[in-house]
Amino acid sequence: MKSFIRNKRWLVPLAFVLALALGQSALAQTLLLYQANPAPGSPSPSLNALDYDALEKLTYQVAVEDKTIAAAVGFTGKLETTVVPGGYKLRSDPSLVTAIETRSSQATLLGAAFGYVFRQRSVLVVDLGASDGDQFFARVQFHGIPLSGPLADEFFRHAAKVSPALGEGYTAFDNSMLFINLRDESGKPYGGLDDDAFLQALTKAVASFTTARTSIAAKGKIEARFVGNDWQSSPQGGEYRILLPAETLPALDAIQARIAERIGSAAARR
C-alpha cells in the first residue's frame, strides 16, 4: 500500500467544540483523532483484551506525550489533548482528540507524528473551519444525563441496528456524539448511504432511543482526511516516516519506545 492521506476515521478544548457545534469558523481549528490501542500488525501488543476502565487509565498516562511529540516535529502552536469515548466498527474505546490551531501541511505532519508514535492504522485529521468541506456530519446531543463511555456505546450499537452505516464510527464530546458520513477516495460513503439517508437513519435512531433523551443538535459539512500506515506491510511505519523529516525520527523513536513500554506492561497485566 502506498503512502496516503485520504478521507476516512478520535483531549478537545471547549472553544473548539462549541465552534463546531454552532457551525462557527474560529481560527484554524483542526482535530487529530486517534487511540492508544496499537494497530494490528504493529510491533506493540494489542490492548483489545483490556476492559474500558483499564484502557482509559492507560490512555490518560500516554496522552501526556502530546506536546513532546509536537515539539519533536517543530510545532510551536497551541495544542490541547483530551480523552473521550470513541467508536469504530461497533467497538467503543477511550480515544484521543488533539486540537490544534493550524491547517494543511502542519496538520498532516502532526497526524503522521501521532500515528507513528502511537502505532495507529490511521489518524483522522478534521478541519472544522474548512469552507469547502465535503464530509457530512451530524451531532447527537444527550440531555439531562452525562454521556459516559457505556452510554455512548449503547447508543452506537442501537444506531447500528437502525442502519449498519451508523456503526462505522463516532467520537464523543461535550455530552454529544459526532457521526461523520466518511467517503473513500472515489467519493463513495464507507457505510453505503448518501448524506440524506445517513441523516434520516440517525434521526430514526435518536427518536427510538429510550435510555436517554437525545436530539440532532447540528449538521453540515466538514473536511476530514486520513493519514495512515499499514503496519502489516510496513512494520516500521514507513508510510508515516516518509511524511516526517529524517531529523525528527530519533526523538519520535524515543517517545514511541516509552509509550510501547507502557503498552507492553499493560498488556502483560491483563
Q: What is the pLDDT of residue 19?
A: 42
Here the cell at position 212 is: 436517554
**Cβ contact 202:159 at 8 Å:** yes
- Sign of the Cα torsion 30, 36, 41, 44 reads positive
Q: What is the pLDDT of residue 268?
A: 87
Distance (Å, whole) CA 45 – CA 141: 35
Q: What is the pLDDT of residue 186?
A: 85
Strand partners, 79: 100
Per-residue CA distances from 256 to 64, 115, 205 (Å): 13, 10, 40
Amino acid at position 55, single letter: L
Distance (Å, whole) CA 170 – CA 22: 19
Measured distance between the N- and C-terminal CA atoms of the chain, rounded to whole angstroms: 33
Here the cell at position 175 is: 455530552
Domain map (residue ranges) of the chain:
4-269
Q: Which of 66, 67, 78, 87 is nearest to 10 (CA)?
A: 87
Contacts of 253 (CB under 8 A, 6+ apart): none
Q: What is the pLDDT of residue 103?
A: 61
Q: Are strands 79-88 and 169-173 parallel, antiparallel or unpaired?
A: antiparallel
Q: What is the pLDDT of residue 15?
A: 38
Q: What is the pLDDT of residue 270?
A: 65
Q: What is the pLDDT of residue 20?
A: 43
Q: What is the mean pLDDT of each successive set of 10 residues along the chain, which is 270 residues long? A: 33 39 50 93 90 94 96 92 92 93 83 97 87 88 95 97 96 91 89 96 98 96 92 96 98 97 88
Q: What is the pLDDT of residue 127?
A: 86
Q: What is the pLDDT of residue 185?
A: 82
Distance (Å, whole) CA 165 – CA 197: 10
Distance (Å, whole) CA 29 – CA 26: 6
Q: What is the pLDDT of residue 4?
A: 31
Per-residue CA distances from 79 to 54, 75, 101, 178 (Å): 26, 9, 7, 21
- With b meaning 16 or more CB within 10 Å and e meaning fewer, what string describes 93-107? bbbbbbbbbbbeebb
* DSSP at 183: B
